[in-house]
Structure 1
Amino acid sequence: MAKDFYGDLRLGILGGGQLGRMLIQDAINYNVNIHVLDPDQNAPCKKLCNHFEVGSLSDFDTVYNFGRDLDMITIEIEKVNVDALEKLEDEGVLVYPQSRVIRLIQDKGLQKQFFKQNDIPTAPFHFVSAHEGLKQIEWNFPYIQKLRKDGYDGKGVKKITSDADVSAAFTEPSIVEEMVDFEKEIAVIVARNDAGDVSTFPMVEMEFNPEANLVEFLISPSTFSIEIQQRAEEIAKKIANDLQIVGLLAVEMFLTKTGEILVNELAPRPHNSGHQTIEGNITSQFNQHLRAIFNLPLGNTATRDHAVMINVLGEDGYDGLAKYEGVEDILSLEGVFVHLYGKKFTKPFRKMGHVCIINKDRETAIKNARYVQSTLKVKA
């Protein structure tokens, strides 16, 4: 580390959303000087950082000029101008995760090629360069189409079940995957620092909102066999080492009904599947990301208790100034921790916050989480 902490280190974050907000909450404890770039003048990070700049994350000049006087840059969203980050790296700015990693993960096609080249298990796939290419696929319905670029939070993914779906499919370059008959969607978050130390968080189990295709319910630790959990964590470690990434990497996977583990997607940053670590683990994912990019010893990732994370999504049918209902009711329960993201406006299925529910007893944690899920509403 070229500079000491205590306010001298200038850390830039590309993206000012909730992930950046929670990262700043931990970075404050290291007393670093935090700069944030985001296109939204009311982004959640705005009031928490030392310097906030409104600008495009995809514009070369904006990203380059933002970063040229900083010591280090990290991201909370992958859709950023990688060419600008490469130039900044060439000029001595530390960029973690590295620009080459971000470039690979921006393109789901390159991700799939990386999996294949490194013997990482994943669903069978084909590349489709144009809409007509779908008609050449010889698989039986159903299968999945994913845009190679710009998909996020469940967007850019379509289930193809009929010829009618083919006609309405994405026209941009995409990949198609065989539909995986999975038992559970699982995730492992892994961290790697520049010294090469690697550490995983315990595997978590996830449930998705069927309408928004967003994580809605997550529980940690998993009750699947130790063998399955260790296998998932070893896959995540292999990917981190193969990439030589510095920082945090979320590895989303399918556990099939036959016990196979298939890697779905990667995210090179703090991730929705790790929010429960703030209260549920000895080290949070945000603290671990900072440790990794600062090349500090990685923290203990052990779970403290059973933890359930609920995403707080904007209610369907409501659009406007956010109004929260049920906060007092859920806080009457022991072990409930509310995180609101500071977003002024709500819309259907927008991520407005999350709640973590902690309990010594797994079933009690789940019961309390279901109560939170049915009680806390974001309306307008």
Structure 2
Amino acid sequence: MAKDFYGELQLGVLGGGQLGRMLIQEAINFNVNVHILDPDKNAPCRNLCNRFVNGPLNDFDTVYAFGKGLDMVTIEIEKVNVDALEKLEEEGVLVYPQSRIIRLIQDKGLQKQFFKQNDIPTAPFQLISSKENLATASISLPYIQKLRKDGYDGRGVKKIINESDIESAFEAPSLIEQWIDFEKELAIIVSRNDNGEVATFPCVEMEFNPEANLVEFLISPSTLPFEIQQRADLLAKKIAEDLQIVGLLAVELFLTKDGRLLVNELAPRPHNSGHQSIEGNFTSQFAQHLRAIFNLAPGNTATRTNAVMVNLLGEAGHDGLARYEGIEEVLAMEGVYLHLYGKKYTKPFRKMGHVCVVNEDREEAIRTARTVQQTMRVIT
């Protein structure tokens, strides 16, 4: 990089939520000036960054004006104005991940086509322009319908079990994919810098909230057979190389009951499936993202110990000023680390924080995390 890190580098982050908040905590160690753009005037990053700009992430002029004059721009959310990022790139601002990758990831249909073109195993799919196309779909029921754009944290996904479900299907352009009877949901985070150095974090196993369809419980590292983990690792590296990404990439996978690995979705940024790395690995996913975009050597991704992450989600039926029940009991437990995200208001299934439990005894870590899951509640 042309500039050093001693108070000179100006880094812009599109998005000021919890991912930006944890990224700032690592950026402080690099002595980097962090600028945040977020549509929420009370965003968690507001009082933690060098400069906070309140404005829409999908507006060309706002994103362009924010990035102009910065050395580098990165993201904590994909729903941003890519045209503005392309113009910034043309004018010499480094944008990582690159704007072309963000454009690809924004459209789940393009993602699926990328998988097909690059021989990346994924569930059979069909692109749909409108709900009417479902009547003649080539994918047989049951299947999953996903909006091509704007789906996030479980939103924009529908299960179409039978013909009657088609009535409530999405009208907008979407894709349908074969219902996969999977054994486990897995994730691997991979990083790549501009020198082409690639590093992966050990594979993790995930559990999703069945109602909100987002990660609720994560166990690291996986205890699946080495051969399966190695295949997942090689697959993540291949995707990073095929994309030529600079930055971090979360790769979510299905392990089918017959032992196949199918790539579900990608996220080109720090991700919920890597939060346990703060306490559980020698290098956190946030430090690794910064290393990658600063074109530094990747850090050691090995696990320090068993780590289990529990998402703290807003309780159903609670919408308003957030209160946290059970903090005292949880923090009295051994190996428990609490991360609250600084969000003033809660609503059902909103990500309000996470807890990481570490223990040399894997089963004990899981037991403690289950107790945390039952003890802590985010209410109003």
Q: What interval of TM-score do these two structures reach, taking the shorter chain for normalisation?
A: over 0.9
Deviations 1:303-357 (A, max 9, x none): 0010000000001111110000000001111110000000000011000000000
What residue is the counterpart of 1:327 in the other structure?
A: 327
Contact 2:38 2:54 survives alignment (8 Å):
yes
What residue is the counterpart of 1:52 in the other structure?
A: 52
The separation in 2 between residues aligned to 1:299 and 1:206, in whole angstroms, is 24
The separation in 2 between residues aligned to 1:139 and 1:189, in whole angstroms, is 30
Deviations 1:30-81 (A, max 9, x none): 0111100000000000011000000010000000000011000000000000
What residue is the counterpart of 1:212 in the other structure?
A: 212
1:4 corresponds to which letter in structure 2? D
2:290 corresponds to which letter in structure 1? L
The separation in 2 between residues aligned to 1:36 and 1:145, in whole angstroms, is 34
The separation in 2 between residues aligned to 1:205 and 1:254, in whole angstroms, is 10
Equivalent residues in 2 for 1:344-355, closer than 5 Å: 344-355=344-355
Instruction: Give the match's secondary structure for 2:227.
Output: helix
What residue is the counterpart of 1:249 in the other structure?
A: 249
How far did residue 168 of structure 1 move?
0.6
How far did residue 138 of structure 1 move?
4.0
1:366 corresponds to which letter in structure 2? I
1:26 corresponds to which letter in structure 2? E
1:23 corresponds to which letter in structure 2? L
Structure 2: runs of 5 or more not aligned: none
What residue is the counterpart of 1:374 in the other structure?
A: 374
What residue is the counterpart of 1:170 in the other structure?
A: 170
How far did residue 19 of structure 1 move?
0.3
How far did residue 288 of structure 1 move?
0.1
What residue is the counterpart of 2:10 in the other structure?
A: 10
Deviations 1:82-116 (A, max 9, x none): 00000000000000000000000000000001000
How far did residue 141 of structure 1 move?
2.0
What residue is the counterpart of 2:240 in the other structure?
A: 240
How far did residue 164 of structure 1 move?
1.6
2:282 corresponds to which letter in structure 1? I
- 1:288 pairs with 2:288: yes
Instruction: Give the match's secondary structure for 1:373.
Output: helix
Instruction: Give the match's secondary structure for 1:372.
Output: helix
Structure 1: runs of 5 or more not aligned: none
How far did residue 142 of structure 1 move?
1.1
How far did residue 169 of structure 1 move?
0.1
- 1:158 pairs with 2:162: no
Equivalent residues in 2 for 1:10-159, closer than 5 Å: 10-159=10-159
The separation in 2 between residues aligned to 1:338 and 1:138, in whole angstroms, is 47
What residue is the counterpart of 1:308 in the other structure?
A: 308
The separation in 2 between residues aligned to 1:82 and 1:183, in whole angstroms, is 36
1:51 corresponds to which letter in structure 2? R
Among all aligned residue pairs of Structure 1 and Structure 2, give the percentage whose two residues are the same amino acid. Answer: 74
The separation in 2 between residues aligned to 1:154 and 1:318, in whole angstroms, is 19
CA RMSD of aligned residues (A): 0.5
**TM, length-normalised to structure 2:** 0.99
2:213 corresponds to which letter in structure 1? N
1:170 corresponds to which letter in structure 2? F
The separation in 1 between residues aligned to 2:65 and 2:139, in whole angstroms, is 48
The separation in 2 between residues aligned to 1:55 and 1:136, in whole angstroms, is 42
The separation in 2 between residues aligned to 1:334 and 1:127, in whole angstroms, is 49
What residue is the counterpart of 1:224 in the other structure?
A: 224
What residue is the counterpart of 1:364 in the other structure?
A: 364
What residue is the counterpart of 2:266 in the other structure?
A: 266
Contact 2:118 2:242 survives alignment (8 Å):
yes
How far did residue 139 of structure 1 move?
3.6
2:17 corresponds to which letter in structure 1? G
**TM, length-normalised to structure 1:** 0.99
How far did residue 140 of structure 1 move?
3.2
